[in-house]
Structure 1
Amino acid sequence: MTEIVVLGAGYAGLRTVRELSGTSNVHITLVDRNSYHYEATALHTVAIGTNEAEHITFDIQKAIPKDVTFKQDNVTRIDTQNKTVTLEKEATPLQYDYLVVALGFESEDFGIKGAATYGLPLQDIESAQAIRKHLEERLAAYNDSHDERDLHIIVCGAGFTSIELLGELVYRMPSLVEQYHLPADKIQITCLEAMPKILPMFDQKLVDFAVQFLADHGAIIHTSTPIDEVTDHSVISGDNVYEANTIIWTTGVRGSHVISDSHFDQKRNRVAVTSQLTMKDHPEVFIIGDSSAVPDPASGRFYPTTGQISIAQATHTAKNIKASIDGTPLSDFTYKSLGTVCSLGPTTGIAEIGDSGRIKLKGRKVALVKKMVNDRSIMEESGFANMMRNLS
Structure 2
Amino acid sequence: MAKKVVILGAGYAGLVCALELNKLTTAQEAEIILVNKHEYHQLVTQLHEPAVGAKEEKDVTISINSILGAKKIKFVKDVVVSIDKTAKEVTLESGKLSYDYLVIALGSETEYFGIPGLKEYSYTLKSVNQANRIREHIEQCFQTYNQDKKDSKLTFVVGGAGFTGIELVGELADMLPQLAQKYNVPKEKVKLLNVEAAPMILPGFDEGLVAHAKQSLEGRGVKFIIGTPVVQVEPGIVHLKTGDTIPTDTMIWTGGVRGIPIVAESGFETEPRGRAKVDEYMRALGEEDVWIIGDSCFVLSPNGRPYPPTAQISTQMGENAAVNIYASMKHVKKEAFAPVLLGAVASLGRKNAIGSLGKKMKATGWLAYRVKDASKYRYLAKIGALLKSK
Q: TM-score of the superposition, structure 2-length normalised?
A: 0.94
- Residue 119 (structure 2) pairs with residue 116 (structure 1): yes
- Residue 327 (structure 2) pairs with residue 326 (structure 1): no
- Partner Cα distance (1:214, 1:349) in 2: 10
Q: Which residue of 2 aligns with 1:4?
A: 5
Q: Which residue of 2 aligns with 1:73?
A: 78
| 8 Å Cα contact 2:19/2:386 also seen in 1 | no
- Partner Cα distance (2:305, 2:250) in 1: 36
Aligned AA (1:55): D
1:211 is displaced (CA, Å) by: 0.7
- Secondary structure of 2:55's counterpart equals coil
Q: Which residue of 2 aligns with 1:381?
A: 383
- Residue 43 (structure 2) pairs with residue 39 (structure 1): yes
- Secondary structure of 1:70's counterpart equals strand
Gaps of 5+ in 1: 387-392
- Secondary structure of 2:49's counterpart equals helix
- Residue 191 (structure 2) pairs with residue 158 (structure 1): no
1:374 is displaced (CA, Å) by: 2.1
| 8 Å Cα contact 2:80/2:93 also seen in 1 | yes
C-alpha distance after superposition, 1:150-200 (max 9, x if no partner): 111011111110000000001112211111111111111111111111112
| 8 Å Cα contact 2:264/2:276 also seen in 1 | no
Q: Which residue of 2 aligns with 1:389?
A: none
- Partner Cα distance (2:268, 2:62) in 1: 32
Could you say what the CA RMSD is over the residues aligned between the two structures, in angstroms?
Answer: 1.6
Q: Work out the percentage of aligned pairs sharing the same amino acid.
A: 38
- Partner Cα distance (1:162, 1:301) in 2: 21
- Residue 286 (structure 2) pairs with residue 285 (structure 1): no
- Partner Cα distance (1:347, 1:9) in 2: 31
| 8 Å Cα contact 1:191/1:222 also seen in 2 | yes
Spell out the pairing of 1:3-22 with structure 2 (5 A cutoff).
3-22=4-23
1:26 is displaced (CA, Å) by: 0.7
C-alpha distance after superposition, 1:288-330 (max 9, x if no partner): 100011122x223321111001011111111111111001122
| 8 Å Cα contact 1:76/1:261 also seen in 2 | no
1:51 is displaced (CA, Å) by: 1.1
Q: Which residue of 2 aligns with 1:60?
A: 64
| 8 Å Cα contact 2:311/2:379 also seen in 1 | no
C-alpha distance after superposition, 1:236-295 (max 9, x if no partner): 013100111111111111222321332432232201110111011112111110001112
Q: Which residue of 1 aligns with 2:357?
A: 353
- Partner Cα distance (1:332, 1:295) in 2: 13
Gaps of 5+ in 2: none
- Partner Cα distance (2:132, 2:174) in 1: 18
Q: Which residue of 2 aligns with 1:207?
A: 210
C-alpha distance after superposition, 1:114-173 (max 9, x if no partner): 001101111111111111111110121111011111111011111110000000001112
Spell out the pairing of 1:139-218 with structure 2 (5 A cutoff).
139-218=142-221
Aligned AA (1:108): E
C-alpha distance after superposition, 1:344-382 (max 9, x if no partner): 01211100001x2x1100002222211232233345325
- Partner Cα distance (2:146, 2:383) in 1: 45
Q: Which residue of 2 aligns with 1:303?
A: 307
**Bigger shift: residues 373-382 or 124-133:** 373-382
| 8 Å Cα contact 2:20/2:386 also seen in 1 | no
- Partner Cα distance (2:309, 2:128) in 1: 19
Which residue of 362, 365, 369 corresponds with 2:364?
A: 362
Aligned AA (1:261): E
Spell out the pairing of 1:233-272 with structure 2 (5 A cutoff).
233-238=236-241, 239-266=243-270, 267-272=272-277
How many residues are aligned here?
A: 381
Which residue of 2, 19, 29 corresponds with 2:33?
A: 29
- Secondary structure of 1:265's counterpart equals coil
CA 1:385 to 1:50, structure 2 compared with 1: closer, same or farther past 3 Å? farther
CA 1:181 to 1:236, structure 2 compared with 1: closer, same or farther past 3 Å? same
C-alpha distance after superposition, 1:82-130 (max 9, x if no partner): 111110122xx21111111111121111111000110111111111111
- Partner Cα distance (2:385, 2:76) in 1: 20
Q: Which residue of 1 aligns with 2:104?
A: 101
Which residue of 52, 57, 65 corresponds with 1:48?
A: 52
- Secondary structure of 1:117's counterpart equals coil
Q: TM-score of the superposition, structure 1-length normalised?
A: 0.94
| 8 Å Cα contact 2:153/2:250 also seen in 1 | yes
